[in-house]
Amino acid sequence: MALKRLNNEAAVLKLIANGDEKAFARLFYAYYNQIGAYVQGLTQDTEVTGEIIQEVFAKIWIDRESLPQVKKFDAFLFIICRNHTLNHIRRMVAERGNKEAYRLELDAVHEEEGVTSLADQYELIDRAISLLPPQQKKVFVLRRQGLKNPEISRRMNLSIESVKKYQHLAVKFISEFVKGEALA
């Protein structure tokens, strides 16, 4: 994808490197639609496209001191954009895989336990969730809502490892509870 370069690009990059926000805004608006079209073509999601572009330009602003060394900013921007987009797509594929694995795991537990109706399954799971310790419960509920471990970590002021441990303990408890109830 060929990007239309900004006039006086080298001078604009030097101004940005020195913290000039107006120059940065000029750069942003010069490339936003061009990069947006590329990212949109890959993600097919307008909201995700906007997030990726914001992340890319935030990275550029954070690392602005190195901009004067960039000889071809359009190529530099394209590579950063491509990498951010591909990383996002990889994360989405992994999340889908994790959600599918989680669903399959729950289905296997339910099948193994002989839980007959979907309503019975949800009732048992809800009862098990209500019995979880507060931190485990909150982590489990936030994961069910689709939040990722880093976001849960920030919201709950926990380490990512603690979030993972609470999630593991919650799933283990729920599984054992449902098994125990099904056998009773």
Clarify whether residues 78 and 118 are in a common domain. no
More confident residue, 111 or 137: 137
pLDDT score for 124: 76
More confident residue, 115 or 105: 105
Clarify whether residues 86 and 121 are in a common domain. no
What average pLDDT does the chain have?
Answer: 83
Please check whether residue 124 lies inside any domain of the structure: yes
109-133 mean pLDDT? 69
Q: How far is CA 99 from CA 9, 71, 104, 150, 164, in A?
A: 45, 43, 9, 16, 15
CATH code, domain with 75: 1.10.1740.10
Please check whether residue 75 lies inside any domain of the structure: yes
Please check whether residue 59 lies inside any domain of the structure: yes
Clarify whether residues 16 and 84 are in a common domain. yes
Q: Residue 14 — pLDDT band, cuts 50, 70, 90?
A: very high
Please check whether residue 126 lies inside any domain of the structure: yes
Clarify whether residues 16 and 61 are in a common domain. yes
Structural domain of 142: 114-183
**Total domain count for the chain?**
2
Clarify whether residues 60 and 126 are in a common domain. no
CATH code, domain with 151: 1.10.10.10
Please check whether residue 107 lies inside any domain of the structure: no
Tens of pLDDT, residue by residue over 133-176, are 999 999 988 888 888 889 999 999 999 899 999 989 988 888 88
Q: Residue 108 — pLDDT band, cuts 50, 70, 90?
A: low
Helix axes 149-156, 134-144, angle to 10 degrees: 140
Clarify whether residues 83 and 123 are in a common domain. no
**5 token code pair:** 């370069």
Least confident of 39-43, 55-59, 113-117, 175-179: 113-117
Clarify whether residues 135 and 179 are in a common domain. yes
Clarify whether residues 122 and 60 are in a common domain. no
Q: Residue 93 — pLDDT band, cuts 50, 70, 90?
A: confident
Please check whether residue 135 lies inside any domain of the structure: yes
99-120 mean pLDDT? 58
Tens of pLDDT, residue by residue over 71-92, are 888 888 888 888 888 888 887 7
Please check whether residue 101 lies inside any domain of the structure: no
pLDDT score for 115: 47
**9 token code pair:** 């690009």
- The residues near 15 (Cβ < 8 Å, ≥ 6 apart) are 22, 23
